[in-house]
Structure 1
Amino acid sequence: MSKTFYVLAFLSICTFSVSAQVFPKGMFEDYELSASKLGDFSIHVSKPTAKGPRPLLIYLDGSGNYPIQFKTKSGRYSTSIALDIAKYAKDYYIVLISKPGIPFSDSLRYSESGRAFYLGNKTYKERYSLDWRAGTAAEAINFLVRELPVDQKKIIVMGYSEGSQVAPRVAVLNKKVTHVVCFVGNALNQLYDFILEARLEADRGTISAEEGQRRVDSLYLEYEKIYAKPLSVDETWYGETYLKWSSFTKTTPLENMLQLGIPILYVAGGKDNHQNIMDMDYARLEFLRKGKKNLTYKVYPNANHYFQESSTVDGKVKKTDRIDEVHQFAFDWLNSK
């Protein structure tokens, strides 16, 4: 399998990075929680600007072991959180959850080639899974409903990219959840996307049919290894443990969505270069087939994985960032439900 294919496929699971958003000191109240089978974990809750009950919103970022806020080589801060927290914190308790063993804020490291990375640790390696991410979010909801004046008519789980895969699972685990919002996350088995991309490249003529088949055969060999040792944290594929891969594919996001009767918003980019929209399209079809009416499926036809759109004006490529518009659409939807 070609190195280029591996790089492109890996991007489909990488974390979102927003360089413009910096969290001021004192913006969050930090809590250290613990639960059996999950261990210790850290949650960060936006401080209210006024008194009184307000809805609770758990925001789940994408994959990877980066801190929520990280310092780059230039000295600037970036974040894995796409949502403009300050804009919505006046009306919601917004909750972020650090990955296992990862601090809220830290500096990135850089390889000799200039590639940014963050050092792994034993805690992350041993715990990172769908069960951990969904379980900690479910536990955080239970804790915060006891701790804060939460308006329990609206307890929302909102996920971006890999977080989108986690969000419906949280609602399955915790019946207090009233709404689910999923941005650009697969509906089917995450590993299927790698197969789909190989087939599409062969169909486009980017690679030969023979090369496409070799890639697919190679992928199935890797998947066989993963499912033969689904709990292994010592063996890895794409830098993540077999535990991570097997847990995220034990149930699909679509299977979890179909268990829910609460409102679900599912948002896709028609030109998503990381998450193939054909995988996402299937969710709408399956809801129709089963006669379920609680899914709203919204597609931005010209948007990529980050809801950026490209157009050519006078021979120059212009990029339009629509991520804030997309989030506002989600909040307008929430207000209508």
Structure 2
Amino acid sequence: MIYLHVFMKRQMFSLFFLFLTLSIFSQSKELKEIGFEKIVLKTKSDTIFFIKSINDEKIKKPTIIFLQGSLPLPIIFKDKDDIFTLFPFKTDEYLTKYNLILIARKGIPLIGDFEKDAQGYKNAQGEVPFEYIKHDNHTYRTQQAREVLNFIYTEEWVDKKNIYVVGHSEGYEIAASLAEKNTKIKKVVCLSADPFNRAVEEVAKYRLESYVSLNDSIRQKQIYAITQNFLNIENIDNYKNDYDLYNWASYDEKLTFESFKKIKVPVLVVYGTDDFKSFHSHLLPFLLKEKKDFFVKAYPDYDHNFFKKQFDNEGNPLEDSYNWDEVFRDCVHWLETGSVK
């Protein structure tokens, strides 16, 4: 998915810019201009890059780890006149009170050129980097986020009692898995994904199509195949040599709402009713009735990225309105107060 600052640059789509190869020094300088800095986290088996909002005074602040969705996107974009992050909301109003953290996808440059890379980064050979493909799975992304969480938990600028995880789309599933029985996390927000898995989302799509296309027998065969594939998933380690298959199995092996059952802290699920990828979200209150600290918030007419279709008085379509700022503001209100607007 493409986040806020990418959409804000629509008027620049007609411009073409050269790709910029930036030194570490220039990256640091430019990131500071927008209130962020790069952190390199070295573990025994990995090197993880993430950005955090600058906190030179090392004041203990509540911290929000934002887990973005799929696609091989840089987390910083440049164009001719500007530099901006992949955060889907305007960050300025949160920089004083919160530490904001965004983790780079493995194998993807931290900074990309907006015109060239906004739909997904590709290398000089026109290919998605192998390192990204190899690590594009639920298992790695969860472990990567866990390493960042464990690291910041030891830092003096983090209020350890107020660490929040917010995941959008694919990041929704990662956030839910990360928070299972995790005592370092205070609250979790999951936005815009199916609370079961991708397979169930696909089954629902075919079932709805069968109601309007009068080809129920064909769709049922497809549904049966999807169901059997899910039932046949066993030890996902068996698929590690096939990266595409491992990606699929790692996301489809379990149902996300099962993670919700294991989470011991408050959870907020947010979705737009015009987002098919969130189709089953309305079932969560029925599935998790016993969890009193579980909340669901629906935004009528909003899509996967919280766009809403707009029309003039004659019914002619206008440019869609973008509502990520409103949605995230409501999420922060819940993080702070426990109350759903």
Q: For the superposition of Structure 1 and Structure 2, which TM-score range results when normalised by the shorter chain?
A: 0.7 to 0.9
State how many pairs are aligned.
311
- Check whether the contact 1:68–1:79 (CA below 8 A) recurs between aligned residues: yes
Match of 1:84 in 2: 90
Match of 1:249 in 2: 252
Match of 1:65 among 64, 72, 92: 72
- Check whether the contact 1:303–1:309 (CA below 8 A) recurs between aligned residues: yes
Q: Measure the CA separation in 1 of the matches of 2:258 and 2:324.
A: 27
- Check whether the contact 1:306–1:323 (CA below 8 A) recurs between aligned residues: yes
Q: Measure the CA separation in 2 of the matches of 1:286 and 1:261.
A: 16
The residue identity in structure 1 corresponding to 2:295 is T
- Check whether the contact 2:230–2:253 (CA below 8 A) recurs between aligned residues: no
Match of 1:8 in 2: none
Match of 2:263 in 1: 260
* SS across alignment from 1:62: coil
Match of 2:38 in 1: 30
Q: Greater shift after overlay, 55-64 or 139-148?
A: 139-148
* SS across alignment from 2:97: coil
* SS across alignment from 1:99: coil
TM-fit CA distance, 1:15? 5.1
Q: Measure the CA separation in 1 of the matches of 2:59 and 2:235.
A: 51
Match of 2:6 in 1: 19
Q: Does 1:195 align with 2:182?
A: no
Name the CA shift for 1:130/1:223 in 2 (closer, same or farther; >3 Å).
same
Unaligned runs of 5+ in 1: 1-13
Percent same amino acid at aligned positions? 23
1:256-301, Cα deviation, whole Å (9 max, x unpaired): 111112111110111114x142x2222221111xx11111110012
TM-score normalised to the size of structure 2?
Answer: 0.80
Match of 2:192 among 163, 167, 184: 184
Q: Measure the CA separation in 2 of the matches of 1:106 and 1:42.
A: 14
Q: Does 1:171 align with 2:179?
A: yes
Match of 1:149 in 2: 157
Name the CA shift for 1:232/1:71 in 2 (closer, same or farther; >3 Å).
farther
Q: Does 1:101 align with 2:104?
A: no
TM-fit CA distance, 1:153? 1.8
Name the CA shift for 1:262/1:228 in 2 (closer, same or farther; >3 Å).
closer
Match of 1:132 among 127, 140, 145: 140
Q: Measure the CA separation in 2 of the matches of 1:203 and 1:158.
A: 35
- Check whether the contact 1:62–1:80 (CA below 8 A) recurs between aligned residues: no
1:227-246, Cα deviation, whole Å (9 max, x unpaired): 6875535546xxxx111121
- Check whether the contact 1:17–1:78 (CA below 8 A) recurs between aligned residues: no
- Check whether the contact 1:109–1:116 (CA below 8 A) recurs between aligned residues: no
1:62-113, Cα deviation, whole Å (9 max, x unpaired): 11212113458x99877543132222121111111111111211237979xx
* SS across alignment from 1:176: coil
Q: Does 1:215 align with 2:222?
A: yes
Detail structure 1 runs of 4+ shifted over 3 Å in the superposition: 14-18, 20-24, 74-80, 107-111, 217-236
* SS across alignment from 2:128: coil
Q: Measure the CA separation in 2 of the matches of 1:120 and 1:231.
A: 24
Name the CA shift for 1:313/1:329 in 2 (closer, same or farther; >3 Å).
same
Unaligned runs of 5+ in 2: 10-26
Q: Measure the CA separation in 1 of the matches of 2:132 and 2:194.
A: 23
Name the CA shift for 1:230/1:317 in 2 (closer, same or farther; >3 Å).
farther
Q: Measure the CA separation in 2 of the matches of 1:110 and 1:91.
A: 34
Name the CA shift for 1:82/1:193 in 2 (closer, same or farther; >3 Å).
same
Q: Does 1:284 align with 2:248?
A: no
Q: Measure the CA separation in 1 of the matches of 2:7 and 2:55.
A: 22
TM-fit CA distance, 1:29? 2.3
- Check whether the contact 1:54–1:92 (CA below 8 A) recurs between aligned residues: yes
TM-fit CA distance, 1:150? 1.2
Q: Measure the CA separation in 1 of the matches of 2:120 and 2:152.
A: 35
Q: Greater shift after overlay, 214-223 or 48-57?
A: 214-223
Q: Measure the CA separation in 1 of the matches of 2:242 and 2:232.
A: 9
TM-fit CA distance, 1:51? 5.2
The residue identity in structure 1 corresponding to 2:46 is G
Name the CA shift for 1:87/1:306 in 2 (closer, same or farther; >3 Å).
same
Q: Measure the CA separation in 2 of the matches of 1:211 and 1:101.
A: 40
Q: Measure the CA separation in 1 of the matches of 2:326 and 2:248.
A: 32
Q: Measure the CA separation in 2 of the matches of 1:226 and 1:18.
A: 38
* SS across alignment from 1:146: coil
Q: Measure the CA separation in 1 of the matches of 2:5 and 2:181.
A: 30
